[in-house]
Structure 1
Amino acid sequence: MCGIVGLHLRTPELYPRLGELLSGMLGEMSDRGADSAGVAVYGDPMWSPPGRGCVSVTDIEVVPDLGADVDVVQVDSSYLLSADMPSEALLERVRLSYPGALIAGFGADLAVLKGVGHPRALTDAWGLSKAQGWQGVGHTRMATESAVTPSGCHPYTVGPQQCLVHNGSFANHATIRRDLRRAGVVFDSENDTEVGARFVAQQLAAGRDVETALKELCATFDGFYTLLVSNHDSFAVVRDAIACKPAVIAETADWVAMASEYRALSELPGVESARIWEPEPEVVYAWTR
């Protein structure tokens, strides 16, 4: 049992409140997973300065020093790096200089934070309530498939500006991991969710849109799952064919949100007039900024 939350803001006037709203949503899902937590935030000007390449790093013992042209913002045990270069070029520099570091995410306008511990304590340590932006995704984890470590935390952001969180389990993840490794894909953990994330990233890199990628995932993966997938400008939700893992979506003119349970949405502004529903099995719900 894990908790998923996601918030896609349509109204710029709400951008300054993204972190505040996301913190409240994540806190409500703490009892669904108190082992660890993580968030992906799109558009915070301090964590991911606009117009710069960005890389999020964690599980590293020293403050990264990549030269005067790379800015470093420390957020608890994570480091958010930015520079006037493509994110992929900055990522390559990080990997060459710190091969043991865990890359939590990369891409323009994206900051990813992960940590082991209670979600409320982590969001306080991150100062998440002060974050800004147009989109945020969060996860609270109850570990079942792999160790409680930073590499086992969600979100999995293995493609540029991409993010995936997952409640459930993939029954055939070992087989698909082997196939992906044969294709040259490198993994950071033994977590089944990472297999789903890298599968989706491979699909997107091949030119498929997120809806097609998630339909292909549904056809390939066995198990019970609710997934939320985002990138720089989109936000998508899908459940397995039985839809046994809980999920609820709410939509207004100002925002789209999803969570594992309604209580995570109950304090969003205007929720009393929102359209609210449970996603149907294997139907991909997607929104674009």
Structure 2
Amino acid sequence: MKHEFLNFEEIDRSTWQQLHRKTTIPLTQSELNSIKSFNDKIQLHEVSDVYLPLVNLIHIYRKARKDLTFTKSLFLQKSIKSQPFIIGISGSVAVGKSTTSRLLQILIARTFKHSTVELVTTDGFLYPNATLEEMNLLDKKGFPESYDMEKLIGFLDNIKNGINCEIPVYSHETYDIVPDKSQKIQVPDFLIVEGINVFQNPQNQRLYVSDYFDVSIYVDAEVENIETWYLERFQKLLKLAKNDSSNYYHRYTRLTYPEIIAVAQNTWKNINLANLEKYIEPTRNRADIILHKAENHEIDKIYLKK
């Protein structure tokens, strides 16, 4: 996939890490290990070199938003209620969005000590598998039409307007929405929204999900690297599912190794790669910040919208 970063300034890692004064890293390696995706690789030096400057930049975005709100209130001659600061994080399947999101949640909470930080993934807004089957969309799971975008936008609108919400919960073990279970979201100071679809234009909707974001981040990598990470993750998921018949991936554990690789490659090519090329990667330029990962999973370049 050709990388063309129009209207972005490229910053290499060595330059980026100088944009934040050296401070004590506010978490331990064991804490970092507990929040990273099990096939991801991240060390404390990446937190110091990449993520602490990123949190500093988020602070700048937040201050600018507060200043604009204050100026608008003077112009309108009325008080404007403070709203949650919403961060959108997108990128391909298996690129490391979840690790980035969970890490930012901890770093922001420990940087802004009296602030609440909630994290929501858009997996919870997928239609249940039974509904997808009725719609003949089960093979398109993860594509734009498999999400209840009206519900997702309604959730974001409520949060922006100070309304507490309950949203569905998705299980990667059962590969489905969990019945009768919800995640309660009290209106926070910061909300991180992570998902492959958060920059996309919802079908039959006038609003983009990203219209609600105060800053947006795209986690990027070369396609061949993402494919390798996906295949590695698929095999690790099968190992975890070996003794759990309720796990969605258990059905594949009886296959031979060549058969497992064939299933994983087919899933990557026909679902995840197709989704990436047609729907996810074309939204990359809507981001404010692009974090580009090298083959070793480490972020080597950062792109800032000019």
Tell me whether the two structures share a fold, i.e. TM-score over 0.5: no
Higher helix share: 2
What's the TM-score, normalizing by structure 2?
A: 0.28
What's the TM-score, normalizing by structure 1?
A: 0.29
Which has the higher relative contact order, 1 or 2, with Cα contacts under 8 A spaced 6 or more apart?
A: 2
Higher strand share: 1
